[in-house]
């Protein structure tokens, strides 16, 4: 009998009312994107101080760190504890997929620098250029590595200085580090492969309602998805291949 694969999801965000109502929470959003049948996915609400016991880390085949409205360079207790646990997982050479805030946390733990985005926040569908030379043949990207990939962006911070051993896999007009990897076990994406149009639009409406952005910014964000969508299936395939140690065709 094949042993059941087990993954841990570190949720650095609370569930919005919309996500609870539409999907039953972010746990389901992530598992429907990155999970496969027969796997066990455990969620830990790290933003609320919920973490696995360190002795249990070895039970997991891989980890995913979500986005957050918090800054990855903050020094509050739960972020420091998350950094400590990520360091331990890194030392164990277990796979970690870092998304947005998670991407920045991994950069921080590995000695990089994270700060406010120099060209301002992003809330939109955007294209990232893939550094094809940096992608190992027969890797989780597969044989056909695209020139660019569309992904939903929702962030106000960025990786300013990469860790020494990191390899940039993607960049954009505004951000030098959209995607990076370290060795074979850390894969980090600034955008949100798990987001869809509905999630983006609800976030746009929410931040507009709270007065965080102006109407023209909100309209421009929605306009980016008028005629096209993110390359969700491709992102899903790449992320799954990475987490599960598969080589794509």
| Residue 67 falls inside a structural domain | yes
The enclosing domain of 133 has a CATH number of 3.40.50.880
| Residue 192 falls inside a structural domain | yes
- What is the secondary structure of the chain as a DSSP string? -PPPPEEEEE--SPPPHHHHHHHSSHHHHHHHHH--TT-EEEEE-GGGT----GGGGGG-SEEEE---SS-TT---HHHHHHHHHHHHHHHTT-EEEEETHHHHHHHHHTT-EEEE-TT--EEEEEEEEE-GGGSPTTSTT-S---SEEEEEEEESEEEEE--TT-EEEEE-SS-S-SEEEETTTEEEESSBTT--HHHHHHHHHHHHHTTSS-HHHHHHHHHTTSS----HHHHHHHHHHHHHTPPP-
The structural domain count of the chain equals 1
| Residue 249 falls inside a structural domain | no
| Residue 53 falls inside a structural domain | yes
Q: What's the domain range around 129?
A: 6-244
Active site residues per annotation? 100, 192, 194
| Residue 1 falls inside a structural domain | no
| Residue 46 falls inside a structural domain | yes
| Global pTM value | 0.96
Q: What is the pLDDT along the chain (249 residues), one digit of tens a residue?
A: 668 999 999 999 999 999 999 999 999 999 999 999 999 999 999 999 999 999 999 999 999 999 999 999 999 999 999 999 999 999 999 999 999 999 999 999 999 999 999 999 999 999 999 999 998 877 899 888 999 999 999 999 999 999 999 999 999 999 999 999 999 999 999 999 999 999 999 999 999 999 999 999 999 999 999 999 999 999 999 999 999 987 755
Q: What is the pLDDT of residue 248?
A: 57
The Cα-based distances of 54 to 51, 85, 206 in angstroms read 9, 8, 36
Q: What is the pLDDT of residue 44?
A: 98
């Amino acid at each position: 009998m094949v042993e059941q694969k087990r993954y841990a999801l570190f949720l650095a965000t609370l569930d919005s009312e919309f996500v609870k109502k539409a999907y039953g929470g972010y746990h389901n959003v992530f598992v429907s994107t990155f999970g496969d049948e027969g796997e066990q996915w455990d969620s830990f609400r790290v933003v609320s101080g919920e973490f696995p016991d360190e002795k249990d880390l070895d039970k997991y085949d891989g980890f995913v760190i979500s986005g957050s409205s918090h800054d990855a360079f903050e020094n509050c207790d739960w972020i420091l504890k998350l950094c400590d646990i990520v360091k331990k997982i890194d030392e164990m050479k277990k796979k970690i997929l870092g998304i947005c805030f998670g991407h920045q946390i991994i950069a921080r733990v590995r000695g990089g620098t994270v700060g406010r985005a120099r060209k301002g926040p992003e809330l939109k569908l955007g294209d990232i250029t893939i550094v094809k030379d940096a992608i190992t043949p027969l890797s989780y990207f597969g044989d056909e590595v695209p020139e660019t990939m569309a992904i939903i962006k929702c962030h106000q911070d960025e990786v300013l200085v990469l860790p020494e051993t990191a390899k940039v896999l993607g960049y954009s007009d505004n951000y030098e580090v959209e995607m990076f990897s370290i060795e074979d076990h850390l894969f980090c994406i600034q955008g949100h492969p798990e987001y869809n149009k509905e999630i983006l639009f609800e976030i746009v409406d929410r931040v507009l309602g709270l007065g965080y952005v102006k109407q023209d910014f909100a309209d421009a964000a929605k306009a980016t998805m008028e005629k096209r969508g993110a390359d969700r299936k491709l992102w899903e395939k790449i992320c799954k291949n990475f987490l599960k140690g598969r080589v794509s065709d």
